[in-house]
Structure 1
């Protein structure tokens, strides 16, 4: 692959360049900071995310731009997803600060790893080459392995990190093997060239399909789709809750981006092949995720199986195989990450020194302890259950509409049935908060920034549910609808 460096094209990469530069600055500054100024690392990290977001806005494209010899693409989808990734990570750090401080984990390593993970996500979103897809994915994965293992005196966190690392390595190997097959039959890493080779029928069809199978398996591992979901509940439960919050939110947006880049942009001509695989993955994920979640007593594990079921719903839009379907899937991904962010934020709010809110019983009587945050959790749970007029309802509505339009009526019927089953475990949390007596009567007094961020998160889900077309139009326009 020839590569021509054009200095003017660096302007399109400014969000990533700024993020990389300032992440290194944060790393160096933290080394020399005295203990009493340790909060400066947090402030610099948040400033870095704000700066990167402003750069994304400044480089918002009027049209799709492919630069750096086909390695990097800057389009509306990339810009919108990057803004949401940076915003979600910003809120995740706000939610995590007190939790980390109470456990002696408020160190520069957490924020630096978080910034490098965010950089990996931005690279994945704008990748236009198999090489850059893999580079971004590994940067994200390696950072997350380190974050999960940060609590070194916890056997549970260490075990979760080991499982995540081993299974993540298998997934990366599968993905890399599939990519090597594509390169072998098309002689290119560029997604456009790969698409052209497939359309021209110059590539060996059998090898292409084999490569596609390995790529779908690798993506399914990263998304946590059944039957490649085995790492999700163990990692969600074993990792510190602040890390679980991070893993459950922004990386899902990046995973959606490479799903679109690889399957739609690169392998769109093989749609009849990958569509069938996604139908099976979606059906199994929605079924197992919703049914097994009912049996969980650990809320982090319950939310892990909830994530698996939501991944199944996300895939419905991609299965539709149309621009509106991809826009619906993008809308669903963003909505899910916002709901997951707020849900784990409430768990961090309820945790304190020496106590982690992990059991369902820990939510008992939350309305008596703090009525406002019980209301925020009520919004989040009803939205996850898909109750109108909250945002989660519209997310399910649009993907179901598109999959029906594509002719998969039976899959939509099963999706609705599984959604009704899933409503049980969300409504159970509401029952615990409002109708049970609290086991712990300790007052809940979060910092002002935590109160503002969580309230904004919950109210955004409520208010945007009343006018869902605002976000939906952005997603549709990003897909060219």
Structure 2
């Protein structure tokens, strides 16, 4: 039991620090709200240190197989905390300008990170559900944080109702799997499927309900109906948070459940994921073309990216799973940069939600225009940026596994998807700006955006470093 608690030290540390943030904020005046922000960042840095220090060099199952610490969980926890630190850097500027700088954003954000860390190490269907609900409940409250905005309230209600429906489906699937196998622990489920003469049809039904729940959390079509409205209606700082690290945690759940628990049913879940992937790539890329609101455009873009994320899982090989892991990390880095630019452009006026707001950005601030160009080229899959390699690795694994039609579809929809990203580049570089006022940003904002943009290029120039790290997880 003592060893189990030591393995859980990163999560315990984050929980304690979240309570500290809550208490400090409760007794702080608004003018001292910056203290809450810095304690939040310190909490995440401390959690990363704990992950490094307390994670063993081997896979370890704790609490009777409910919680696992392995290479994948360690990498994902560090990435989740790192991405969250950048998100809070961007968010601080937005919250301060929008007069939304309240402690609840940081407290809920830390609880969400805790939920994501639990999801990364969940090895039991109840701990899977616990992590998902801790994350989801935090996000529901964050979306509704802008109390004076009717769009924020509407988005929160939609997200909550549909999220509750997805959670119900997930629980129903879990109950069916338990009823057939007699266990909720993933290794035991896999053994039961392999060794028992059980009715496969009931397992497949349970698996379908679980996949539906996971697909909703990722925003895959046709379970994407909440995504555009939530992205548009939520405060940009919350949209930034939802669009990044939670996708990494949802990927972790997909790998744990499908690969570790339901791998004997691979033929069945490959077919389901193939359908979801094609629908997501088609709906996401085609509808994104018609969008004038950049947050809605990025929402449909997210749906398409989830489709590409599924491709590595469909390949059914360790290299394919590593490719999907590479993809979700790359996507998170790209999307936080894009929303960081939206925050930068909108912080002095109203929300910079229209694509037209990027007109003539190269004239107003050439450095930020260059960063945005890096981000858009990467999301479009232009070499040598990071986004190109993320698509390359998953499509290559598809071809190697014999899924030629799916690989061709992925390339086709990538070409369609490049249009709306390159459209933003065209607007930035060739359209005349409505105002010639220079864009100014704090030193913190300039530094973080620069690091974010350069990471996209640097990792893209040497993708094998990150890919080898992902391969070590499988």
TM superposition score category, shorter chain reference: over 0.9
Where in structure 2 are there 5+ consecutive unaligned residues? none
**Contact 1:53–1:86 (CA<8 Å) still a contact in 2?**
yes
1:8 equivalenced with 2:3 (yes/no): yes
In the alignment, which of 113, 117, 136 is matched to residue 112 of structure 2? Answer: 117
| Partner residue, 1:451 | 446
1:158 equivalenced with 2:153 (yes/no): yes
Q: Name the CA distance, whole Å, in 2 between partners of 1:66 and 1:366.
A: 51
Q: Name the CA distance, whole Å, in 1 between partners of 2:15 and 2:198.
A: 38
Give the Å deviation of 1:399: 0.2
**Contact 1:103–1:353 (CA<8 Å) still a contact in 2?**
no
| 1:25-424 mapped onto 2 (5 Å cutoff) | 25-424=20-419
- CA deviations on 1:315-341 (whole Å, 9 max, x unpaired) are 000000011100000000100010001
Q: Name the CA distance, whole Å, in 1 between partners of 2:413 and 2:86.
A: 31
| Partner residue, 1:3 | none
Q: Name the CA distance, whole Å, in 1 between partners of 2:57 and 2:347.
A: 47
Q: Name the CA distance, whole Å, in 1 between partners of 2:334 and 2:31.
A: 35
- CA deviations on 1:64-101 (whole Å, 9 max, x unpaired) are 11111111000000010111100111000000112111
| Partner residue, 2:14 | 19
Deviates more, 1:100-109 or 1:437-446: 437-446
Poorly superposed stretches of 4+, deviation over 6 Å: none
Give the Å deviation of 1:440: 2.9
Q: Name the CA distance, whole Å, in 1 between partners of 2:100 and 2:286.
A: 35
Where in structure 1 are there 5+ consecutive unaligned residues? 1-5
**Contact 1:61–1:76 (CA<8 Å) still a contact in 2?**
no
Aligned pairs, number: 474
Q: Name the CA distance, whole Å, in 1 between partners of 2:197 and 2:318.
A: 26
Normalised to the residue count of structure 1, the TM-score between the two structures is 0.97
- CA deviations on 1:368-423 (whole Å, 9 max, x unpaired) are 11111110000000000000011100000000000111111011111101000110
Deviates more, 1:352-361 or 1:276-285: 352-361
Q: Secondary structure at the match of 1:38?
A: helix
Q: Secondary structure at the match of 2:68?
A: strand
**Contact 1:16–1:122 (CA<8 Å) still a contact in 2?**
yes
Q: Name the CA distance, whole Å, in 1 between partners of 2:110 and 2:377.
A: 32
- CA deviations on 1:24-68 (whole Å, 9 max, x unpaired) are 110011000123211100000000000001111112331111111
Q: Secondary structure at the match of 2:61?
A: strand
In the alignment, which of 459, 462, 467 is matched to residue 467 of structure 1? Answer: 462
Q: Name the CA distance, whole Å, in 1 between partners of 2:351 and 2:314.
A: 39
Q: Name the CA distance, whole Å, in 1 between partners of 2:147 and 2:364.
A: 33
- CA deviations on 1:416-435 (whole Å, 9 max, x unpaired) are 01000110000000011111
Give the Å deviation of 1:353: 4.5
When the two chains are superposed, the root-mean-square deviation of aligned CA atoms in Å is 0.9
- CA deviations on 1:201-233 (whole Å, 9 max, x unpaired) are 243322111101101111111111111110111
Give the Å deviation of 1:351: 1.0
Q: Name the CA distance, whole Å, in 2 between partners of 1:102 and 1:139.
A: 29
Q: Name the CA distance, whole Å, in 2 between partners of 1:415 and 1:166.
A: 32
Q: Name the CA distance, whole Å, in 1 between partners of 2:436 and 2:323.
A: 43
Give the Å deviation of 1:150: 0.3
Q: Name the CA distance, whole Å, in 1 between partners of 2:201 and 2:286.
A: 37
Normalised to the residue count of structure 2, the TM-score between the two structures is 0.99
Q: Name the CA distance, whole Å, in 1 between partners of 2:349 and 2:463.
A: 40
